[in-house]
Amino acid sequence: PVQADEDGVNEMTLKSTPEISSVSEEGAKSSLAQAQPSTLSIFHEDILLAILSFVADVPFEIVDKAHPIDSHSSLTHTLPLVSKQIHSLTRRHDLHWKNALLRLVRREPTLWEEGLKRVVFDAKCDELRGKIIERNQNSATAQCDKCMKDGQTNQRQQRPAPQSILPSSNSDQPNGSSDDADPPLASKGEILQHACAAIQSHPSHHRRATSSGIYQYLYQSVLLGHMRYQAPVFCMPSRVRLGSPYGLHLFEPRYRLMISEVMASYPASARRGERILPMVQGLSRPNHMADDIKASTRDLLEKNELILHKHHVPTFIHAHQAPMRRSTPATVVQVQQCVIHPNGSADVFLKPLSYIWLEEIWERSGTGGLYEAMGLRMGEEASESYERWCGMRGFGRGDGRGRGQMLPIP
C-alpha cells in the first residue's frame, strides 16, 4: 500500500519529519545518558566505603532534642535509597556499624561502653548456664543408668528391665581446665573487640540474623538489651534526682500487683525488709554447682560487681512527669528495701538509677489500670540537662520553651 500511493507517502513523510527528528534526538540523549557511567561507579569499593563513612550515622547517634526517640538515620533510611550500588554496600559491609560503635563508645561511655560490657557478661553467663545444664544431664543419665542396672540385678527372674527413658550421653563431662582466662576489659579501643569475641565464641540463643555482620548484631544487642528498658510503671508526679533515695507506700491494687511481680524472683527474706542481693538467672546458687563451675561463676560475678548491682536488681519505671506519653522523661528506680504487708500493700525504699524517654506505653488488661512501658535511656549530657530543668522548674515556668530546649529561666 505504501508503494501504491507514493504521493501520499511523501506528503505524510514531509509533515511528520520535525516530530520524528525531535523524538530521535531525545532517544539519542537518553541512550547517551544510559551509556555514561555514574559518578560513584568509577570509584573502587573501598574508596566508596570511605566516602560514605563521612555521612553514615546509625539510629540514635544524632539525638534531636525535639524528637529524642526518633530512630531515623542516614545508614538505615537515607543511603540505601540513593542507588542500588550504595544499597548493596550498606547491606553487605560491616564497616559503618563498627565505626559508629567506636564513635558512640567515645561520645557516650556511660551508655555504650557499659552496654558492651553487659553483652560480654551475658555471653559468659550463657556459657556457664550451658555447662551447668550439660553437667546436670550427664549426672541424671548416669544415675538413671545405675538405677536400671540395679533393677536388672534385683528382677533377673522377672520380665526384662525397660530401656532408659533418657538418652545416653557419649561425651565426657567437661572439666575446669578447658576454661580460658579472659583478658580484662581495659581500654575503650579494646572493649569492642572483646565484645565481638565473646559473641562469636558464646553466641546467644536469641541471636538475630543480620544482613551485614557481627558489628551490626553487636549494635542491636546493646540497643535491645541495654539502651531500651521495659518494665511496669508507677505514676505519681514528684521530684526525682539520680542517686537520691526516697520512700513510697504502695497501696493501690495495681501497684500491689506491680511490686509483687517485681519481687517475685527474689527470696522471701527480700520481701520482709532484709537486704536485697543481685540475682542472675541460673547462677544465683553457686553452692549447688561443681567446684570448677562454682569457681568460674564466683570469679565472673566478682569482676562484674558494678553490672550486678545496677542491672540485676529489682527495678521498675517511675513516671513522675505528666502527661505520660511518647518522649516524656521518666526514671528507672531500684528497689533497695521492700516490706510487703499481709494485705498486699508495701513500703519500699527506692534509688533512682537512670533517666529514660518513654517510647511506648500501654495498659495491661486485667490489672486494674497498671501500665507497662518501654523507654530509651538518656545519655550523660541529656540527664544533666534534664536534672537542671527539673531543679529550676520549681522557681517558675522558664522562658516557655520547656523540656525540648532544657534552658529554663527561674
Q: How far does Cα 59 stand from its chain's mean position?
A: 12
More confident: 239 or 283: 239
> Are 188 and 109 contacting, i.e. CB atoms less than 8 angstroms apart?
yes
pLDDT at 332: 96
pLDDT band at residue 219, thresholds of 50, 70 and 90? Answer: very high
pLDDT band at residue 62, thresholds of 50, 70 and 90? Answer: confident
Bridge partner residues of 363 (DSSP): 371
Average pLDDT, the chain: 77
Task: Give the chain's length.
Answer: 410
In the chain, the amino acid numbered 249 is H
Cell triple for residue 132?
Answer: 551447668
Q: Which residues contact 271 (CB under 8 A, 6 or more apart)?
A: 263, 338, 339, 340
More confident: 25 or 369: 369
Per-residue pLDDT tens digits for 111-164: 899 999 999 898 888 888 888 878 777 776 766 766 666 665 555 545 444 333
> Are 290 and 135 contacting, i.e. CB atoms less than 8 angstroms apart?
yes
Rounded to an integer, what distance in angstroms lies between the CA atom of residue 95 and that of residue 68? 26
Per-residue pLDDT tens digits for 220-242: 999 998 999 999 999 998 888 89
Buried b (16+ CB within 10 A) or exposed e, 348-370: bbbbbbbbbbbbebeeeeeeeeb
Rounded to an integer, what distance in angstroms lies between the CA atom of residue 338 and that of residue 317? 16
Q: Spell out the long-range contacts of 392-395 with Cβ–Cβ below 8 A and sequence spacing 24 or more.
A: 394/239
Q: Among 178-192, 282-296, 316-330, which stretch is predicted with the lowest mean pLDDT?
A: 178-192
pLDDT at 337: 94
Per-residue pLDDT tens digits for 137-146: 777 676 676 6
